[in-house]
Amino acid sequence: TQLLERRTAELSQLERHYQNATTSDRRSIRPLKENAEQSLTQLRSVLQKLQQLNVLHSAVAATAHLQLTLTTQWPDGPQTILEIPLPDK
């Protein structure tokens, strides 16, 4: 959520800058603002899905044993985003 807060603050700053900008400056700021909006939308979506996974894990963990690893593939290799190991017995 810290990343979400930072990105939201950055977008707010861009929006303020955009509102106070001249028409020619707005042309250069607009793509930055649109990219920031898109990035924030995607980040919110990912966080929502992670929250749903956490709720699902909590519901299943009460009666089952679940090991969960969520990864993404980058050009230089995979990156683990979320890992929930099996509980110790």
Q: Which tens digit of pLDDT belongs to each residue from 70-89?
A: 999 999 999 999 998 877 75
The residues near 3 (Cβ < 8 Å, ≥ 6 apart) are 43
Give residue 60's pLDDT band: very low, low, confident or very high (50, 70, 90). Answer: confident
Q: Which of 21-30, 56-65, 73-82 has the lowest mean pLDDT?
A: 56-65
pLDDT score, position 87: 73
Mean pLDDT, the chain, whole residue set: 90
Give the containing element (helix H, strand E) for 72.
strand 68-74
Which residue is it, tokens 């898109």? Answer: 38
Q: Structure tokens of 64?
A: 């089952």
What is the model's pTM?
Answer: 0.61
